[in-house]
Amino acid sequence: MRAVFFDLDGTLCDTVGDIRFHVNAMLASRGYPILSVEQTKRYIGNGARHLVERALPPNAEDTQDCYEQFMESFSKSDGALISLYAGEREALERLKEEGMRLAVITNKPQAAVHGTLAKFFPDRFFDFVGGDSGMFPIKPDPSLTRYAALSMRVSPAECVFVGDGETDVLTARNAGMRGIAALWGYRTREQLAEAGAREFASGFGELCKILLGG
């Protein structure tokens, strides 16, 4: 393997508290029921628009306004409710030391991606960062993932895609990459296996062992 691709929400960063805060602020302002943590986790993974659609009652007629309100608030997040996972920093540093190229491919809105990463990682830490900018279809479509590989001059066969969601399992397969399902995120092993995952890591330490052989 020459490159490791990471999903963001639930894989690189625990963002459920941040996402829930901004979704619930929008819902409460309109008199809609707010989401629990577990509901928010279930709704994450297919982009901001799908998140808002799932959060709203079935008969809501202001979906577009709700989406725009959420995006306006979300784009200004200070990241106070976001955190890294145990052993993550050490694992990523080790992968870089071993010559691995690192990429982030997420369905998170592009405007929010860099703000989230900037809180924890220095500029240029990742070799490629791609979110939902409207230029490519979102995951599990492999277009952005393949473009990232091309940009980093590696073939899909030399890459591994690490993610905690069903969309990540499918993205790895669709892009022709090895996939490793992250069990520290927002889906269970059973959910990921049902989506087609065959290789799993319970934490960043185990991920390093899988990728580097010890």
User: So which residues are the catalytic ones?
Assistant: 7
Residue type, 94: R
Q: 179 and 161 in contact (C-beta within 8 Å)? A: yes
Instruction: To the nearest 10°, report the CA torsion of 204, 139, 196, 89.
Output: 0
β-bridge partners, 9? 13
CA distance 30 to 57: 11
**CA angle at 194 for the pair 158 and 131, rounded to the nearest 5°:** 50
Query: Distance of alpha carbon 140 from its chain centroid, rounded?
Result: 12
State how far the Cα of 177 lies from the Cα of 105, in Å rounded to an integer. Answer: 13
